[in-house]
Chains A and B, each alone.
Chain A
């Protein structure tokens, strides 16, 4: 079925009208009245459907923020669940306008696949999860193990490299989605599940007994995850990029969804004033109205709020900010100034 999707997407890629290098996505989005956003097929905390069937989570929040920036309404998003294999084809063929799907920013994706990563919203690394009863304490002890791995991902390549360099043999068990990986891991088809450490934590959180599984200390790769768009439409890339930056800056300046109304009246921080539109008109520079960043913070929240709501330490996922703390707190989250 997945292969059929790819075929269709490939066919679509060859039959869609020639729109000169994909300019004008913002106008298209405004005209159709919603953002078509690619998300994953489901990773607890990062993207999942709630009881009402709406997509929620750390990744869909970016889509909602973009919709809020453009329309002032975070619900004007339509979602397309994509697998590791279908995501880029879906984006490049124009099936979706943006992809917010724990996707690693790499050189070849940025250049050869002609995608534009607009930033990083989660600094991650690839890890390993094993059942505690196996008594494994390090990835170096995994010789001969069966490893569940999502195909079409960077983790698949990292895994091959890591085990080859360390001269460890293994049996790859290729799997399409996080959900299938979880069932196969639980059934014991594989001893180890490897993906981004955040994904492991998210997956472990929904196990019947999370404490029966451990995440090994080795982090074998850099996985900067972030939203991305097609290459060749700088205006659209700017909209998504600065929406994300606004969320990050808002946290740094202490603007959140509860105090944004008051801050929007004007504050003694000119940076905040420019961002929220009480001074100057940054919005018009990217084809949006003055209120764009206000709408994002008001409706979706700042970066820290989104993090804590879906994957933070108070949620079942229980991720610490760590690398993903603001740079002022010793993390890597850092956005260029709003000027």
Chain B
């Protein structure tokens, strides 16, 4: 060490740029940054030059012109006179909806299958094993097409479904979608809403209070059961007090299709199922790994302390397993969101199908549209990452 220090004291010479570790490190960083900068400059310059050569302009003004096409699933008001911007919004929401629904279902199924995979029951664990190996080894696009094909080809047409009376003549499953009665809330629903807010506030307060009491006295309250009862019961009570102001809009066959009620379209259902089942297989493996990562000694120790098996699972095993599960789970959520762009194969109108598809085609603004689509997926992914990183920190091991 002493030698090295005296070596540095001799002052800077050019040969040190590659001989001296410290200077070499700085030099390398400068070179890499310069190279990166040059590369980006080249790409941008090349794009500008080629756009000019093609006689194309770059700009986003086209977003304000009427889109002129219809979209079959819009959660916000939209018609063919709306702007491309609004069509894009519809697409973003559709992507978001399928991603969120997919993540929720994939998580539930994934945890379920992950636990079942460890079941002592040979048949159950083998069945789950087959499911996992099958779904995660078949490309998700094929699975999307498979589900769509099954729904469209094997389910009856609306006429046949209506003639068969569906389920009690209120729920109809056809190849145009699953139609269920939609609740229509009448006057007085507001009281139930207020009751729900109060119930949630109470639940939070009660949980904090129960924790404090337990810390102080060791007395344990069944917090979850009580809170659940309050959150469900209080709004229900308020609803009853107002005389149940609720009617149902029943789907009915009118002309070509069912009208009224709520509907799950075949495109959405196929995409949702395929993405969820595909991702659930990966999550199941992650969950299994997480649970197996918790040493059996932990369980034995908690039994020895007199904890019930359910508490052992909830307080000892799962918190430790989650630390292993959450980081790879984030990747799966990101994958699911990005895989939702395969929606285009079956005509689900997500952001790729609206801005990146029809708008791109009708306006010829390839560069702009692709940039928008990429930016939106990036935003979605970063949001998921942010949330999952926050959650990961939240459950991380706190060193005492």
Contact = CB atoms under 8 A, between A and B. Distances in A.
Interface of A: 1-3, 6-7, 9-10, 13-16, 18-21, 84-85, 88-89, 92, 112-114, 134, 142-146, 151-152, 156-157, 159-161, 163-164, 170-176, 184, 187-189, 191, 231-232
Contacts of A114: 54-56, 364
A212 to B, nearest CB: 14
B341 interface: yes
Interface of B: 43, 46-47, 49-51, 53-56, 68-72, 79-81, 141, 152-153, 157, 175-176, 254-257, 259, 266, 341, 344-345, 347, 349, 352-353, 356-358, 360-364, 366-367, 370
A18 B47 CA distance: 10
B362 A152 contact: yes
B357 A152 contact: yes
By Cβ-Cβ distance, the 5 closest A-B pairs, closest first, are A160-B80, A152-B361, A145-B256, A174-B347, A10-B366
Contact of B69 (A3, A145, A156): A156
B366 A2 contact: no
Nearest to A113: B364
B362 A191 contact: no
Nearest to B50: A14
A7 B352 CA distance: 11
18 contacts: A2-B344, A3-B344, A6-B360, A9-B366, A10-B367, A14-B46, A18-B53, A19-B53, A92-B54, A114-B55, A145-B256, A146-B257, A157-B362, A174-B72, A174-B353, A187-B175, A188-B157, A189-B175
A162 to B, nearest CB: 10
Contact of A160 (B68, B153, B259): B68
B231 to A, nearest CB: 37
Nearest to A11: B370
Contacts of B363: 112
A151 B362 CA distance: 10
Centre residue among A1, A10, A231 by max chain B CB count within 10 A: A10
A278 B156 CA distance: 66
A20 B143 CA distance: 45
B13 to A, nearest CB: 43
A123 to B, nearest CB: 23
Nearest to A9: B366
Given A152-B361, A174-B349, A13 B69 contact: no
B361 A15 contact: no
Listed residue (B56, B141, B254, B362) with the most chain A CB atoms within 10 angstroms of its CB:
B362
A143 B79 CA distance: 16
A146 B176 contact: yes
Nearest to A92: B54
Given A7-B370, A14-B50, A144 B175 contact: no
A85 B361 contact: yes
Contact of A1 (B50, B81, B141, B176): B141
A231 B53 CA distance: 12
A127 B109 CA distance: 46
Contact of A89 (B79, B352, B362, B366): B366
Given A6-B370, A14-B46, A173 B72 contact: yes
A191 B256 contact: yes
